[in-house]
Amino acid sequence: MALFKNRALILAKVESNYGVDPVPVQATNSILCDLPEIEFVMKKMDRLNVKAFLGNRPVINIGEALKITFSTEIRGCGDATPSIPPEIGVLFVGCGMDEDVVADTSYTYHPQDNIEGPSITIYFWQHDIKHVLTGCRGTFSLEGKAGEYGKIKWEFTGLYAGPSDASIPTDAVFNATLPPALKSATFTLGAYAGVIENFKLTFGNEVAKRPSVNAATGFLAQFIKERKVTAEIDPEAAALSAFAPITLLTAGTEQTMAITFGSAAGNRVTLSCPKVVLDSVKYAEREGILTYSLPLLVCPSVGEDDVTLLFN
């Protein structure tokens, strides 16, 4: 039987203990996403023993990890008094973020104090081939364009395990809430409400591995080694008395930044950063209008608070 590329499914669930499969289920752990891609991370070991003739020598391939990438929409659960987290909340946790809950009001995600933090298990079906990634930790980039719905691109790395034959479930349950368009977004950089078309934030986790001869795969865990959050915006140029990027850059001025996706209760996502500085300044244009291309460095203010995502 032929297998189809566009028949795919992802389930994800937080692990109670690192690398121990919590068995995600279709009813509560399904993730609506764009077509995922999986990469087998291998170490190739050449065997350089001599021989009496020319030609290749077979190599030994050792499975080190599994890496999966996919994109999801930016949207809430749709309930004005949410009693469940957003579908993608588990993915933020897998990227080293805490989940703070105000019952029937909001779910907030921000970087964790624990450098290792929780991990997640991801089940991925490529049609009828199943992959189980335990001990996953990852990173993401979030972007939006005026008048369009926002998206998040995720990348997770988990412990290596070979694939198996298993029929793709047909009873996955997804939240039916539609993603909101990026409009009435109340974007601000400091006190300036810039006219921007595009917004992008890269969380910038660096995921590394902890080798161990006692581990079944030769690696004890995947862990988040570093985080360097960056952002990009493209505001229209204005009078320097209103917005002077060169001055902000040379002065190293620290500013807050915020943007909101959606306005309806239960489907509203506000991203905020307490300390942002310009990294460079370039002129650009949009439909003949002078704009800036502004890369930004997003820094913590009083600890693990670089980025906060509020779903309410």
What pLDDT does 43 receive? 78
In angstroms, the CA 140 to CA 120 distance is: 15
Q: Which of 255, 228, 238 is nearest to 196 (CA)?
A: 238
- What pLDDT is attached to residue 181? 96
The pair of three-digit structure tokens given for residue 99, joined into one six-digit string: 């989940």
Long-range pairs of 276-281 with CB within 8 A, sequence gap ≥ 24: 276/189, 276/231, 277/248, 277/252, 277/253, 278/245, 278/248, 278/249, 278/253, 279/230, 279/249, 280/249, 281/245, 281/246, 281/249
What pLDDT is stored for residue 302 in this prediction?
87
This prediction has a pTM of: 0.93
Query: Which pLDDT score, from 0 to 100, does residue 62 have?
Result: 74
Q: Would you state the pLDDT for residue 134?
A: 95
Flag residues of the chain having pLDDT under 70: 115
